[in-house]
Amino acid sequence: MLNIFKRKSQDEPIKKQSWAKRLSAGLSRTRDKMFQGLTNVLRGRQTLDDETAEAIETHLLTADVGLPTTELIMTELKEKLKKKQADQDLWALLQEDMQNILQAQAKPFDVETANKPFVILTVGVNGAGKTTTIGKLAKRLQGEGKSVMLAAGDTFRAAAIEQLQAWGERNDVPVVAQHSGADSASVVYDALQAAKARGIDVLIADTAGRLHTQGHLMDELAKVKRVMGKLDEAAPHEVLLVLDAGIGQNALSQAREFNEAVGVTGICLTKLDGTAKGGIIFAIANELGIPLRFIGVGEAIDDLQPFDAQTFVSSLFTDLSQESTNDRIQSS
Single-letter amino acid, residue 125: V
On the question of pLDDT at 328 being above 50, the answer is no
d(CA 283, CA 217): 26
Q: How many CB atoms are closer than 10 A to CB 285?
A: 24
Whole-Å CA distances, 265 to 65, 188, 238, 301: 22, 19, 6, 23
The average pLDDT across 270-285 equals 93
pLDDT of residue 16: 53
Low-confidence winner among 14-28, 179-193, 238-252, 271-285 (lowest mean pLDDT): 14-28
Rg (the chain; Cα; Å) = 22
Q: Which residue has the higher pLDDT, 277 or 10?
A: 277
The average pLDDT across 110-136 equals 91
Single-letter amino acid, residue 257: E
pLDDT of residue 181: 83
Lay out the sheet containing 202-205: strands in order across.
Answer: 3-5, 175-177, 148-151, 202-205, 118-123, 238-244, 266-270, 292-296, 304-306
d(CA 142, CA 251): 30
pLDDT of residue 219: 82
pLDDT bin (cut points 50, 70, 90) of residue 12 is: very low
What one-character-per-residue DSSP string does 51-79 give?
HHHHHHHHHHHHTT--HHHHHHHHHHHHH
CA dihedral 206, 207, 213, 218 (to 10 degrees): -120
Which residues, 6+ apart, have CB-to-CB distance to 129 below 8 Å?
242, 244, 270, 271, 296
Q: How many CB atoms are closer than 10 A to CB 138?
A: 26
Across the chain, mean pLDDT equals 86
Q: Which of 109, 102, 106 is nearest to 317 (CA)?
A: 102
On the question of pLDDT at 122 being above 50, the answer is yes
pLDDT of residue 97: 94
pLDDT bin (cut points 50, 70, 90) of residue 42 is: confident
